[in-house]
Structure 1
Amino acid sequence: MKVLDLQCRQAHVFEGWFASEDDFQDQRRRGLVQCPLCADAQIEKRLSAPRLNLGAREPAQRVGADAPHQAPAGATPSGVPATASPSMAAAVHGALPPALQAAWLELARKVVAHTEDVGAQFAQEARRMHYGEAEERAIRGEATPDEAMELLEEGIAVVPLLLPAAAKETLQ
C-alpha cells in the first residue's frame, strides 16, 4: 500500500492510499482522484518522507561552531513565525491549515446528510416550497447564477455552497 501526499490546484493538501504507483497514475489519468474539498481532478503528488518511529530519542542539540545552521529564534522550518496564526501560515503557503480543511469537509458531510438532493430542479423546488405548493424541508441542488439571483430577488433565501464529491459519498 502506498500512502501519497497529494495537492490540487487550489493548494488543498490531502492523503491518498493506492495499491501502487501505477494504480495512482491510472486512477489520476481516468479522473478518479479528486480533491475532497473542491473536487478538482488536477492532482499532483507532493514530496513526502516516511516517518519511522523506532522509539529513539531526539539527539541532543549541539551548541557552538560545529552546530548546524539554526533558524532565527521564533521561526519554524517553513519560515513562518512560530507565533503566526493558522490563517497567516495558510496565506504564506497558499493553503488552508489541515484542521480547517477537515472541519470544512465535516461540515459539508453534515449538510449532505441533513438535506435532500433535488439536483437540477433546485430553483423550481425552492419556489414551490416558498409559495406553499410543497412541504418545506432542507434541500440542496444545482442552480445557475441567474436562477440563484432570481430566487433572491423573489425573497427566497439561498446560499451557494460548493460541496466536494467526497462529502456526497462514504469513504472506503
Structure 2
Amino acid sequence: MADSCFDSDSSDDFWNFAAGVARPGTSTAGNVDLSDIEVSSVHTSDLSDFSTGEFSDDNDDSYDSAAMEDVQDGDGWTSRLRDVTLNPFASSVGPQHDLEPSSSPLDFFFLLFNVTAFTDIAAEINRYAAFKQESVPDRRWTPTTPPEVKAFFGMQVHACLAMKN
C-alpha cells in the first residue's frame, strides 16, 4: 500500500489538471471549463521578457540561425550555440595538506573545521536565534560561543564513533 503522503495521484488537487479529465461523478458536457486558471489574468506586460522571433517551430523553414544576433547577457549566455574549448585537467588530485601520516585524527579534523569555522557557526546560530526570538521569545536562551560549538561537534563525533564500535 502506498504512503498517502507521497500518493499525489489520489489527491483531488490534480483533477482537471489535464484537458478532458474530469473528476469521477462530474461531466464536462456542454464544454464547461472546470479549470481554476483564468487565461485572461495573464497580461502582455508579464511576457515582456519574451521577444517575437526568439522561438521558432521545428518546421519553420524561414528560421535562419546565422541571422540571429549573438547577444550576450550579463552571465555570458548567448542565443547561438558555438564550440567550447576544454583545457586538459593537469592539477594534482587527492588530499592537499602538509600533515604527517603520524598526525592525530584531531589534526585532520581541524583541517576541515578551523577556529574561524567555529566562530562563524556560533555567530550564525546566534543570528538565527535572535531572529526566532522576535516571534517566539525564550528567556532561557543565552548566546552560544565558539568553544561551546566546538564541544558540541566533539560530542557528535564521539557519539558516532561509539555507535560504530
**TM class by shorter-chain length?**
under 0.3
TM, length-normalised to structure 2: 0.21
Compare the two structures and name the one with the higher strand fraction: 1
Compare the two structures and name the one with the higher helix fraction: 2
| Structure (1 or 2) with the larger CA radius of gyration | 2
Q: Which protein has greater RCO, CA pairs closer than 8 Å, 6+ apart?
A: 1
TM, length-normalised to structure 1: 0.20
